[in-house]
Amino acid sequence: MPAIAVLGAQWGDEGKGKATDLLGRRVDYVVKFNGGNNAGHTVVIGDEKYALHLLPSGILTPGVVPVIGNGVVVDPTVLFHEIDDLQARGVDTSRLLVSSNAHLIPSYNRTLDKVAERFLGKRKIGTTGRGIGPTYADKMSRVGIRAQDLFDEKILRQKVEGALEQKNHLLVKVYNRRAVTVDEVVDELLVHAEALRPMIADTALVLDGALRRGEVVLLEGGQATMLDVDHGTYPFVTSSSATAGGACTGAGIAPSSLTHVIGIAKAYITRVGEGPFPTELLDEDGERLRRTGFEFGTTTGRPRRCGWFDVPIARYAQRINGITDLVLTKLDVLTGWDRIPVCVAYDIDGERTTEVPMTQTGFHHAAPVYEFLPGWTEDITGARAIEDLPKNARAYVEFLQQHCNAPISAIGVGPERDQTVVVNDLLA
């Protein structure tokens, strides 16, 4: 059995963590391939609730090897906080591997992330302030610091010196902050070197070995298709590749080994941060979705913007990622509405289209065209088979499936692992 990807099909927080955890017992490796501690995955197992940011959700499953891939940006302080927290709760973290090529987030990039946002004013992105954007920018500018650099102090010092030539200009001359010294940055990073050393690996080689032995490798996406730096609502995106192509480069595996691409989509949509969102509800209905869905960010605690399901976006995510199965999450949150609007097209300045707009302007002008489906009132949180769902809930799922070009193979009816209706085996 080869590699499978689990990805967000909307603007994030679709429930990727729960889906990965659900599959965890049947996979051998779980690889985080993009992003960093901007992600927030809540996983509920029995009475325990875990909020993961940097670590792959597979860390919660005994026997799984969790891997932080080369495409991830790692804040070492956060890494060890999360490890310590989990260990204190009895979770075995000893199998964790970290790619020697993963980039590190030095504290100056956290500072730059926050001050850049302040300077942007009303043009801000609404980032998580974790230093993600500046660290990926450094990677592309070839002034990044990688995990492997911690094990050659001379090289580390040279790289920090090179980076600070640029960074201190920005900090002091543009943003009016204090300059940082090479020593303080080197010290800050070296604190973690010895603890990190046993985890560091050529993870692409490890995963190749696993795939050759027929083991199952799950590639877990952070963020989502519409936050992808190439395919999302640029510039209101994150700075990494959250789509299926990014899964391969960010883990270092060949695209031909990917056989399943599982897209996670909420039964409605949420978004955190700025940027266009055609089906956003700015009224009492949005408030109701936020309240019943507990839509507050796992990472920053910000209220999530809420809106109705958007078919053009789901179809776009299917196309960009080659999604083979959809997991529809949080259907339970829609219980109790008389009728549920679904956006099937956009009206853009008088023209109707069923595709995601080609331009940013088009996106900002897109007005949703809704079809209305009848709601249901029955509690569905105990449903485990499709037959357990009321007729109108089944019709809602069927309608989305017909419009999204992919089978809906599982349906979330509550936050817990077993609160899932499995329609098709996701690993078949």
Q: Which residue has the tokens 């796992």?
A: 298
- The DSSP H or E segment spanning 197 is none
Q: Does position 103 bind ligand IMO by CB under 6 A?
A: no
Picked from ligand IMO, ligand GDP, Mg ion, none, the partner binding residue 128 (CB below 5 to 8 A depending on kind) is ligand IMO
Alpha-carbon distance of 265 to 272, in angstroms, equals 15
Least CB distance to ligand GDP at residue 40 (A): 5
Which of these segments, 35-43, 108-116, 139-147, 163-171, binds ligand GDP (CB under 6 A)? 35-43
Q: Which residue has the tokens 């001050």?
A: 115
How distant is the alpha carbon of residue 171 from its chain centre?
Answer: 29
Instruction: Give the residue nearest to ligand IMO (CB).
Output: 273
- One residue of 2, 126, 162, 415 binding ligand IMO per CB under 6 A: 126
Alpha-carbon distance of 189 to 254, in angstroms, equals 32
Cβ closest to ligand GDP, residue 333 vs residue 397: 333
Mask for 247-276, x = binds ligand IMO (CB under 6 A):
-------------------------xx---
Strands 408-412 and 420-422: antiparallel
Alpha-carbon distance of 6 to 326, in angstroms, equals 10
Least CB distance to ligand IMO at residue 132 (A): 4
Least CB distance to ligand GDP at residue 415 (A): 4
| Residue ranges binding Mg ion (CB under 5 A) | 13, 40, 298
The CA–CA distances, whole Å, from 29 to 80, 94, 218 equal 20, 14, 6
Strands 339-348 and 351-353: antiparallel
Q: Does position 242 bind ligand GDP by CB under 6 A?
A: no
Picked from ligand GDP, Mg ion, ligand IMO, none, the partner binding residue 126 (CB below 5 to 8 A depending on kind) is ligand IMO
What are the b/e assignments for 32-51, b being 16+ CB within 10 Å?
Answer: bbbbbbbbbbbbbeeeeebe
**Number of residues counted as binding ligand IMO (CB under 6 A):** 22
Picked from ligand IMO, Mg ion, ligand GDP, none, the partner binding residue 133 (CB below 5 to 8 A depending on kind) is ligand IMO
Contact 294, 39 (CB under 8 A): no
What are the b/e assignments for 253-272, b being 16+ CB within 10 Å?
Answer: beeebbebbbbbbbbbbbbb
Q: Does the annotation count 310 as an active-site position?
A: no
Mask for 314-333, x = binds ligand GDP (CB under 6 A):
---------------xx-xx
Cβ closest to ligand IMO, residue 128 vs residue 329: 128
- 367 in helix, strand or coil? strand
- One residue of 1, 26, 42, 319 binding ligand GDP per CB under 6 A: 42
Q: Does position 76 bind ligand IMO by CB under 6 A?
A: no
Amino acid (one-letter) located at 295: E
Amino acid (one-letter) located at 403: H
88 Cβ contact partners less than 8 Å away, ≥ 6 residues apart:
none
Alpha-carbon distance of 202 to 99, in angstroms, equals 6
Among candidate residues 21, 28, 41, 332, the one labeled active-site is 41
Least CB distance to Mg ion at residue 39 (A): 6
Q: Does the annotation count 364 as an active-site position?
A: no
Least CB distance to ligand GDP at residue 236 (A): 18
Contact 239, 138 (CB under 8 A): no
Binding residues for ligand GDP, rule: CB under 6 A, are 8, 12-18, 39-42, 44, 298, 329-330, 332-333, 412-415
Q: Which residues are catalytic?
A: 13, 41
